[in-house]
Amino acid sequence: MASSVLPLASASPSSASRSSLENNKKKLNLGSNSLSFDLDKNHPFAKAKSFSRISMVASVNVSRFEGITMAPPDPILGVSEAFKADTHGNKLNLGVGAYRTEELQPYVLDVVKKVESLMLERGDNKEYLPIEGLAAFNKATAELLFGANNPVIKQQRVATIQGLSGTGSLRLAAALIERYFPGAKVLISSPTWGNHKNIFNDARVPWSEYRYYDPKTVGLDFEGMISDIKAAPEGSFVLLHGCAHNPTGIDPTPEQWEKIADVIQEKNHIPFFDVAYQGFASGSLDADAASVRLFAARGLELLVAQSYSKNLGLYAERIGAINVVCTSADAATRVKSQLKRLARPMYSNPPVHGARIVANIVGDPALFNEWKAEMEMMAGRIKNVRQKLYDSLCVKDKSGKDWSFILKQIGMFSFTGLSKVQSDNMTDKWHVYMTKDGRISLAGLSLAKCEYLADAIIDSFHNVR
């Protein structure tokens, strides 16, 4: 807060008009790098003291942040804030993609609890990690993604560094693109996870969209996707969701993945995978990594951001990684050195706790199997509510609408096709919190609430236009 003097009429910062603010800004040199306020004879305070002005003046606090406007709430995380403020008994939070138990409680995996108590017993220290993160984690995460016997691993062609979960890893990759591929465009699917655009905007990386979702078929617009990727400038980055596309829940088939790889290869583009749901889509870690492995097997260079928020329930630990597959071990070493250089001034080095959890679980066959069983259980629960929601819609909706698209989608979300006003009705009338693009997180739904949700969807779909 800058202590300043204003005429009484505009003494309150909230009532200060923009133009009077501009004037005061000039007087006070607000917004400049210099923060000095010399009380020379031209300063308004000096004048006030000498009573040379007739109008009364008062000393008030004017924030130098006055010109900063209110940011809108985040389209996804803002939904959780609104949900918390609602006191209705039937409220349901289907906004953020976070797994809940059948009792709609957050879930810490048993295997995570087990490993955390082992870590505590061992008395692991809290020293800084190296800039690239925990070595055992980096090894484990790359092997989990590509398979330990993948030639890219054997030939040491992957530059892996620990990131601040999926988001931080994507952001680091965006910084790498901005620095070393100036002007290169990133192609993102339409629609995509809301934060992708923010990430590339903030990193000053230009992006454009490729067609992905076809509302007519409630499926993939494969032809549109292929022709947009073909039409992009050679050498663009193509952002792909490794599995369980967010928000649509619609993935290409294995044959379609091959064709996508064909055009990417033809156009000399660089595939850039966002893998936030490995193991969470199908219940199998390997099946969910098939798309990434297909591209790696073709000898392509690619980027892959990973997250352990969903599959290990480590949301708040911020654990993930960025992997850059290069054509040579030498290039990978150089890329890694530059990723470290980008990370150091941003956050110095990553947090250790989540990295140790992942490394310990993946590195121990018994714990690894426990994790896989729990992941299958979580993926299974989501599939069950998906089925129950579909069944409830079919029984309750007498209009003959085909709801089978819900069963074709995979992962933790369902893209309902509800418009913004219909989504508003879901929240305002039914207390069902969801994102305004019509996405619902089935991971936040219980079997017991499926019928209530079906009623809300049917009402919103048929009665709100």
Catalytic residues: 193, 274, 310
Q: How far is the CB of 372 from ligand KET (least distance, A)?
A: 20
Asked if 112 contacts 455 with a C-beta cutoff of 8 angstroms, the reply is no
Q: What sign has the CA pseudo-torsion 370, 156, 277, 73?
A: positive
110 vs 367: CA distance, rounded Å: 10
> Is residue 246 near ligand KET by the rule CB under 6 A?
yes
Q: How far is the CB of 174 from ligand KET (least distance, A)?
A: 13
The residue (of 335 and 440) whose beta carbon lies closer to ligand KET is 440
The residue (of 165 and 446) whose beta carbon lies closer to ligand KET is 165
DSSP 106: B
Helices (H), 397-435: 405-408, 420-428
Asked if 393 contacts 296 with a C-beta cutoff of 8 angstroms, the reply is no
Residue whose entry in the numeric block shows the structure tokens 């209110």: 70
Closest CA to 310 of 413, 459, 203: 413
**Stretch 180-219 residues interacting with ligand KET (CB under 6 A):** 193, 195
212 vs 179: CA distance, rounded Å: 28
170 vs 210: CA distance, rounded Å: 19
What's the Cα-to-Cα distance from 54 to each of 40, 49, 234, 414, rounded to whole Å? 19, 11, 69, 67
Q: Which stretch binds ligand KET (CB under 6 A): 115-123, 130-138, 162-170, 231-239?
A: 162-170
Q: How far is the CB of 81 from ligand KET (least distance, A)?
A: 13
Q: How far is the CB of 464 from ligand KET (least distance, A)?
A: 24
The residue (of 134 and 276) whose beta carbon lies closer to ligand KET is 276
367 vs 439: CA distance, rounded Å: 34
Q: How far is the CB of 307 from ligand KET (least distance, A)?
A: 3
Q: How far is the CB of 167 from ligand KET (least distance, A)?
A: 3
Of positions 76, 140, 142, 186, contacts ligand KET by CB under 6 A:
76
Residue 110 is which amino acid? D
**How many residues make contact with ligand KET (CB under 6 A)?**
16
- Encoded one letter per residue, x for contact with ligand KET by CB under 6 A and - for no contact, window 288-327 reads -------------------x-x-----x----x-------
The residue (of 229 and 276) whose beta carbon lies closer to ligand KET is 276
Helices (H), 397-447: 405-408, 420-428
Residue 454 is which amino acid? A
Q: Which stretch binds ligand KET (CB under 6 A): 161-169, 197-205, 280-288, 331-339?
A: 161-169
Q: How far is the CB of 190 from ligand KET (least distance, A)?
A: 14
Contacts of 195 (CB under 8 A, 6+ apart): 76, 167
The residue (of 169 and 460) whose beta carbon lies closer to ligand KET is 169
245 vs 240: CA distance, rounded Å: 8
Q: Which two tokens stand for residue 177?
A: 């693109």
The residue (of 310 and 431) whose beta carbon lies closer to ligand KET is 310
Q: How far is the CB of 4 from ligand KET (least distance, A)?
A: 40
303 vs 10: CA distance, rounded Å: 54
- Encoded one letter per residue, x for contact with ligand KET by CB under 6 A and - for no contact, window 111-150 reads ----------------------------------------
User: Crossing angle for the helix pair 165-180 and 329-347, nearest 10 degrees?
Assistant: 110
Instruction: Outline where DSSP puts E strands in 82-150.
Output: 92-93
393 vs 278: CA distance, rounded Å: 29
**Stretch 356-375 residues interacting with ligand KET (CB under 6 A):** none
Q: Which stretch binds ligand KET (CB under 6 A): 15-23, 45-53, 163-171, 254-262?
A: 163-171
Of positions 97, 271, 313, 354, contacts ligand KET by CB under 6 A:
97
The radius of gyration of the chain from alpha carbons, rounded to an integer in Å, stands at 26
Of positions 5, 96, 186, 326, contacts ligand KET by CB under 6 A:
96
* Main-chain phi, psi angles of 2, to 5 degrees: -100, 125
| Residue numbers at the binding site for ligand KET (CB under 6 A) | 76, 96-97, 165-167, 193, 195, 241, 246, 274, 276, 307, 309, 315, 320
